[in-house]
Amino acid sequence: MYTIHFKFEQKGLEPVTIEQVAGGQSILEVAEDNNIELHHNCGMVCACSTCHLYLEKGEEHVAELSDKEEDFIDRARNPKLESRLGCQCVLHDGGSGSLEVTIPDQSLIHGE
């Protein structure tokens, strides 16, 4: 099982820690299941950059960055070395560990 620590760039939002997260789901799915706003215009199929986030710790616990994902990250607002798309960060089945994620200010993004 995983623990995910969510931090937010948006003012007024306090960090949230989600524990006992099972593998096989994406960080975007975990966020949605726990009422954490993370836009996703394309429906989680790696066809946009609205679920852009910063994976600051725990990269070894998710699927590797694909060329397609990297292309869409280049289109995201303020991409960094630790940028990922929440829909593509699928937690490894049967694994465990801790991840730290920062979600960019969602008030600047139009979408779901």
Task: Report the distance separating Cα 109 and Cα 61, nearest Å.
Answer: 27
**Which CATH superfamily includes the segment(s) 2-106?**
Beta-grasp domain (3.10.20.30)
19-33 pLDDT per residue, tens: 999 999 999 999 999
In the chain, what are the domain boundaries? 2-106
DSSP-derived secondary structure letter, 36:
-
Give the Cα separation of 68 and 7 in Å (integer): 26
Per-residue pLDDT band at 109 (split at 50, 70, 90): low
Give the C-alpha separation, 73 to 5, whole Å: 21
Q: How far apart are CA 41 and CA 45, in angstroms?
A: 9
- Judge whether residue 42 has pLDDT over 90: no
Asked if 91 and 21 touch (Cβ cutoff 8 Å), the reply is yes
pTM for the full predicted model: 0.91
Which residues are 65's β-sheet partners?
Answer: none
pLDDT at 48 over 60: yes
CB 25 within 8 A of CB 38: no
pLDDT digit string, tens, across residues 52-61: 999 999 999 9
Name which residue leads in pLDDT, 90 or 47. 90
Q: What is the pLDDT of residues 57-106, one digit of tens each?
A: 999 999 999 999 999 999 988 999 999 999 999 999 999 999 999 999 98
CB 37 within 8 A of CB 100: no
Q: Which amino acid is located at 18 in the chain?
A: I
